[in-house]
Amino acid sequence: MLKKNLKAWLYLLPALLFLGAFMVYPLIDVFVYSLEEGYNSASQTYHGVGLFNYSYVLHDPYFLQAVKNTFILVIITVPLSTILALFISLGLNSIQPLRHAYQTIYFLPYVTNTLAVGLVFMVLFKKTPYSEGMVNLLINWFGGQSVDFIDGPYWAKMFVLCFYTIWVVLPFKVLILTSALASVDENLYKAARLDNTPKWRMFTRITLPMISPMIFYLVITGFIGAFKAYSDAVALFGTDLNAAGMNTIVGYVYDMLYGNSGGYPSFASAAALILFAIVLTITCINLLISKKHVHH
Amino acid sequence: MKIRLENLTKKFPNRNKKHGEYVIAVNDFDFEIPSGKLIGLLGPSGCGKSTTLNLISGLETPTEGKIFFGEDDVTHLPPENRGVGLVFQNYALYPHLTVQQNIMFPLQNLRGKDKLSKDEMKRRALEAAKLVQIDTLMERKPSELSGGQQQRVAIARALVKMPRVLLLDEPLSNLDARLRLQTREEIRRIQKATGITTIFVTHDQDEAMSISDQIVVMKDGVVHQIGKPQEVYDHPTNLFVATFLGTPSINVFRARVQGEKLYIGEENVLATPGIQDRDVICAIRPEGFLLDQEGPFTLGLDRVEIMGRDTSVVCTHEAAVSEVLRAIVRTDSLVDEEKNTVRFSLLPRKVHLFDPETEEDLPFEV
Amino acid sequence: MQMNTDYAKIERRSLFRRRTGKAVTYFLLTLWALIVLFPFYWMLLTSVKSYGAYNAEYVPAFFTLSPTFENYHTAFTAVPLARYFTNTLIFTLVTTAVMLVVIVLAAFAFARLEFKGKNLLFTLFLSLMMIPTELVVITNFQTITNLGMRNTFAGLILPSVTSVFYIYLLKENFEQIPEELYKAAQVDGTGDFKYLLKVMIPISQPTIVTIVILKIIECWNSYVWPRLITDDPMYFLVSNGIQEIRENGFGRENIPAMMAAVVVISVPLIVLFLIFRKKVMAGVSRGGTKG
């Protein structure tokens, strides 16, 4: 028995080592950091224990800006991308020819490098002294005024960020919803059709309830993902997000840790834990709502 | 309402083009279903019976031919406008709705002058539920019901809108044996009570024979015989129909007619007046064998199986085409199991002859 | 007869409605397909426009009649793009390979071996799945820095060679293999390790392929951790490379060269995807999230 135990632990050893060193220990440590006041990276010393780091972060205008940006991003992109994905999936499921071709195209953003394609979006949206840029050209065509989406007004920048985020997250949602829709028993629709059920009623009374577990799954993971937004913003606006006024909470954490304003792991930890608390709360609320409304 | 099918044909494009451009699911189906009758579409799986049902419901459009409901040509009418009730093989109940909501679902689609009040809908749903005896289960979800109960809900849902035609796709195949017997009687009762023209599809000949007014035997998209169950059983028009109907199944032999006498092996087993000298296929119903010490037909005796009321005598013969030969005799008749052979005489009306090439029936005078 | 004309009207209306519905569906689907494809088209297009031609266009042109590959040349010579590329390749391959070993061993222990505290340990494992990387990255950064492993492959790779989720996925899969096989192997005197290698891994191949695909995509696109841990361009991965190019490479305005670099970086995964389309999509729907 002892030998058997030993062998099992041996098989688990690598996983335990890595998880211990890079998951469990850091998890405890992040709480410790967040409570150590005046921590100095170079000397690894601190001069007190308390909640000062949290209070500092919560009063830091950059953090508040990041929180505001993140919340706006979440509130806009999560519902919009889910609804858009639902419509696209419904469309995909209703056609036969070219379905695979469309599916393949829609999935492409999933396998692209966020940073690299973000650069293309920047080029498309940017207005430079030499050129209005592709998107502004379109706006002008429709009789609108050119806007600098990359270095211009706040809402223009937010628009690009939301647009790019949706572009990036949509493939996953479309994929999940398409397979959820395909797994609904086709006979249910046939039965409904024979009963002369109007299209919208089929959608609200059959389709929606049948795929509601998957929709809620997407909403929950969508919230979690959107709260962690960072790379998309970097791709569009560069690494100095504070200067662009487009920082996100995760961006703030990394900036505190490293980079131009870096070297403050305590502040970073406090910010990360605040983010974690927010995500946890939202997820719990989501789960409560889904328990009430989802058919399993 | 009567239903008329005229030269109904359905071809599906073949996935594997090597096997030809099309698969013909239903070929040139001509049939008039009298109003208020219960019709069984019978055949092995893949014979086109479900496709026929889908054509009548409108879920599929025919490649050729026409469908009439009464005098109206409904061939190209979309399914939602046909007023057809269809019970699916897997019942297709809405899993998230209660029994009552399921049954009310079709009524809630009525618009304009047909629109019903909430109370009226509930009343009609209850009426339909009572008809199929599930009125005590109205608040349950389908997942909380047994297979038989789900089946009844599906029938109630199909009936509640008072369809012009009721279609049942393999209605009993998901039920266990005992429930199947019970439910088929139930279907018969409901059909009689409502008087709705009903067509049901099955691969189980017992099922079709026991409750249908008429049966349609199909194979490979072709209708082989239409008629009253007993008539089809007694006078199969070809070898397929003869072998497909009846349990235990009919016993098939290679045989030969000479001088208006039927020879199986070397033995002259029966007089067959009216048949020219030729090779034939001979099929004998299990109940066509009569134990007879002096009988003309000698078979090898394999074993005797007692089945209560009847006894099944399992035999062998060198000219047999069937894998197993079975004669059904009364239990009180004695078979000497010590012997290697057993002798029978034959009941002429239980013997059918077929052309070996065309497999068509060769009638002889009984 | 009255009935019949009524039917004809219903038939016509239904046909019309079906056709317009189809047309609208295809139109909208095509519109979104264009929105998805346009950035790809634009980066390809811009990457073959010459520097001079691009900057001379005040109104961007939708096509070019004189494509040039000079930008690709610039991309590989003016910045160490090939270096970034090799780094990413090494990083991706090593991380994926090491991770496979680690998770296969752990999943096997959870699925087939008996030991004290197994259930408790597995529950602890599962609860780790809820921990966001953002939370542990801070200490990991400090750890790697203190170990002097910044700007090394070890520092890049080590924190991402385990995944609780993949252990879970694989363990579930291992458990579906009938235990009789394991017992039979034990009776035959086949050792655990050999059994794992010869029976369990081959049977679970589809899941393992799924995991490999997901991990490759994750590695190829990883940005945050490499950015924290490397500041020497010799160790940059493609994501950091592209950011570096954007901020300091080529001089700020050489967009065509940037686009050439973007194309080079994007192509491998897209090709991989197009080859293994079904596997990738099935894998992602089983266990992928992004965004």
Secondary structure E strands in chain B: 3-13, 22-33, 38-42, 64-69, 72-73, 84-87, 165-169, 197-202, 214-219, 222-227, 251-258, 261-264, 267-271, 278-284, 289-291, 297-307, 310-316, 325-330, 341-346, 351-354
* Residue in A6, A23, A197, A283 to test binding to C, most C beta-carbons within 10 Å: A23
Give the residue on B whose Cα is nearest the Cα of A208.
Answer: B96
Residue type, A180: A
Please tell me which of the candidates C136, C143, C269 has its beta carbon nearest to residue A27: C136
Query: What's chain B's average pLDDT?
Result: 89
**B290 pairs with which residues across the strands?**
B345
| pLDDT of B283 strictly over 90 | yes
**Got the DSSP string for A126-192?**
---SS---HHHHHHHHTT-----TTTS-HHHHHHHHHHHHHHHHHHHHHHHHHHHHHTS-HHHHHHH
Asked if B171 reaches chain A (Cβ–Cβ under 8 Å), the answer is no
Contact A235, A117 (CB under 8 A): yes
3-class state of residue B11 by DSSP: strand
Q: Where are the alpha helices (DSSP H) in chain C?
A: 2-47, 51-56, 70-78, 81-112, 118-128, 133-146, 153-157, 164-176, 179-187, 192-195, 201-203, 205-221, 224-229, 238-248, 255-275, 277-287
ipTM of the complex: 0.90
- Provide the pairing of β-strand B165-169 with B84-87: parallel
Q: What is the model's pLDDT at position B147?
A: 87
CA–CA distance from B98 to each of A196, A203, B46, B118, B160 (Å)?
A: 20, 18, 34, 16, 15
Q: What is the model's pLDDT at position A261?
A: 65
Q: What is the model's pLDDT at position C2?
A: 44
Contact between chains at B81 and C3 (C-beta distance less than 8 A): no
Contact between chains at C134 and A228 (C-beta distance less than 8 A): yes
Which pLDDT tens digit goes with each residue over B218-267? 998 889 999 999 999 999 999 999 999 988 899 999 999 998 899 998 89
Contact A287, A223 (CB under 8 A): no
Which pLDDT tens digit goes with each residue over A206-253? 999 999 999 999 999 999 999 999 999 999 998 888 888 999 999 999
| pLDDT of B12 strictly over 90 | no
**B329 pairs with which residues across the strands?**
B311
pTM for the full predicted model? 0.87
Q: For residues B271 and A254, give the distance between their C-alpha atoms in angstroms, rounded to a whole number.
A: 102
**B69 pairs with which residues across the strands?**
B3, B72
Nearest alpha carbon to residue A105 among B286, C37, B349: C37
Q: What is the model's pLDDT at position C5?
A: 58
Asked if A217 reaches chain C (Cβ–Cβ under 8 Å), the answer is no
Which pLDDT tens digit goes with each residue over A71-82? 999 999 999 999
Domains of chain A and any CATH numbers: 29-110+166-293 (1.10.3720.10)
Contact between chains at C14 and B72 (C-beta distance less than 8 A): no
Domains of chain B and any CATH numbers: 3-243 (3.40.50.300), 244-354 (no CATH)
Domains of chain C and any CATH numbers: 2-70 (no CATH), 79-249 (1.10.3720.10)
- Judged by CB atoms within 8 Å, which residues 133-162 of B form the interface with A? 157, 161
The contacts of residue C188 (CB under 8 Å, 6+ apart) are none
Contact between chains at A30 and C33 (C-beta distance less than 8 A): no
Q: For residues C142 and A143, give the distance between their C-alpha atoms in angstroms, rounded to a whole number.
A: 53
Asked if A193 reaches chain B (Cβ–Cβ under 8 Å), the answer is yes
CA–CA distance from C19 to each of A156, A219, B64, C251 (Å)?
A: 39, 33, 22, 54
Which has the higher per-residue pLDDT, A88 or C127? A88
Asked if A5 reaches chain C (Cβ–Cβ under 8 Å), the answer is yes
Q: For residues A20 and B231, give the distance between their C-alpha atoms in angstroms, rounded to a whole number.
A: 80
Contact between chains at B95 and A210 (C-beta distance less than 8 A): yes
State the average pLDDT over residues B142-146: 92
